[in-house]
Amino acid sequence: MEFLIFMVLLYFLPTILAIVRHPTHDPFGIFLVNFFLGWTVIGWWVAFIWALAANGTSREFRRVPVSSGRFCSQCGALSPYGAHFCSACGRVV
């Protein structure tokens, strides 16, 4: 009986790894490959390598506020859009 449990755990090792290593990452695809193709040794290895290779760092894009003004090359102060002279030092922007 213990051997059967051990074999089931070994069979689903890629899915378990995917869940444990990256809880936020969706391990459903790894589970599908593991479940349906795991009985072929190649499918098991594909799921295993996928579980190890999938890193949890999701590509996130940060929105940076784009200024509509101009920065002065002299003092670095931000002048409002349309201004021709720096509001801090008076230099042409």
Binding residues for Zn ion, rule: CB under 5 A, are 72, 74-75, 77, 86, 88-89, 91
Buried b (16+ CB within 10 A) or exposed e, 44-75: bebbbebbeebeeeeeeeeeeeeeeebebeee
Cα separation of 4 and 11, whole Å?
10
- Residue among 40 and 73 whose Cβ is closer to Zn ion: 73
- Residue among 9 and 75 whose Cβ is closer to Zn ion: 75
Q: Minimum distance between the CB of residue 81 and Zn ion, rounded to whole angstroms?
A: 15
Q: Minimum distance between the CB of residue 93 and Zn ion, rounded to whole angstroms?
A: 7
- Residue among 39 and 91 whose Cβ is closer to Zn ion: 91
Q: SS3 of 59, please?
A: coil
Q: Minimum distance between the CB of residue 82 and Zn ion, rounded to whole angstroms?
A: 16
